[in-house]
Amino acid sequence: MAPRASPKPAVSGKQTTLGPHLIRSGSARSTPSAGATARKQRSAAAQDASDGRVETDVLLAILPIHLRNIASRQKNHEYRKYRLQDGVERLWFYETRGTKEDPGRAAITHIATIPPTTRRAPGNVPEEPEGIGNADFNAGLKVSKYGYPILGMHELVKPVTLEEMKTSWGLSAPMGWSYVRRGLWESQWGDEEGREERLKQLF
């Protein structure tokens, strides 16, 4: 197919529009062009999605009481119904609003470190050291199916509020889990240099 065969293609004046009328009114040459454009757009979107997230870090919602128990090391596993992919090694905790009796901050407040491949099933959590929820999980009394050992914990010096999540990163309060956006990751965890100014290591 020679792209210069017709000096006045039917679609030349409507190049910025990819509506149905463009596809119908174009010559036979316009269809593959539109298809190629669509494929390019899908490829670009997929590339943006890949570049825009950090697959070692996930964002989770957590109740204030559970967050406090992890921060105080009374709770040494985080339990969830789902299995995170191998390679995930940090949990970013979004502290929910909680309840009237136990209010939360509605912000990303902590980052916990977990082993990249250890996902424990009921009965496989060590009895020592003891931790809140471990015995119930081992006995199959929890709805959660996977346990994630907490190896370390950092607290954000400046929590990322829900409003900032929405305006800066296009994020809402998490339901389930999602990968952390690269820009958010760089602004909080990022390079080791200067990290102590952004994060306080609890353990």
**Residue 22: what are its φ and ψ, rounded to 5°?**
-65, -45
The pTM of this model reads 0.75
Amino acid in the structure at residue 146: Y
DSSP state of 83: P
Contact 76/195 with Cβ under 8 angstroms? no
Identify which of 199, 53, 76 has the alpha carbon closest to the alpha carbon of residue 148: 76
pLDDT for 199 equals: 99
pLDDT for 33 equals: 61
Identify which of 113, 109, 46 has the alpha carbon closest to the alpha carbon of residue 78: 113
The per-residue pLDDT string of the chain (203 residues; one tens digit each, 9 = 90 and over) reads 444 444 444 444 444 444 444 334 444 444 556 665 555 554 444 344 445 999 999 999 999 999 999 999 999 999 999 999 999 999 999 999 999 999 999 999 999 999 999 999 999 999 999 999 999 999 999 999 999 999 999 999 999 999 999 999 999 999 999 999 999 999 999 999 999 999 999 99
Whole-angstrom distance, CA of residue 188 vs CA of residue 160: 9
Amino acid in the structure at residue 144: S
Q: 156 pairs with which residues across the strands?
A: 199
Query: End-to-end CA distance of the chain, in Å?
Result: 65
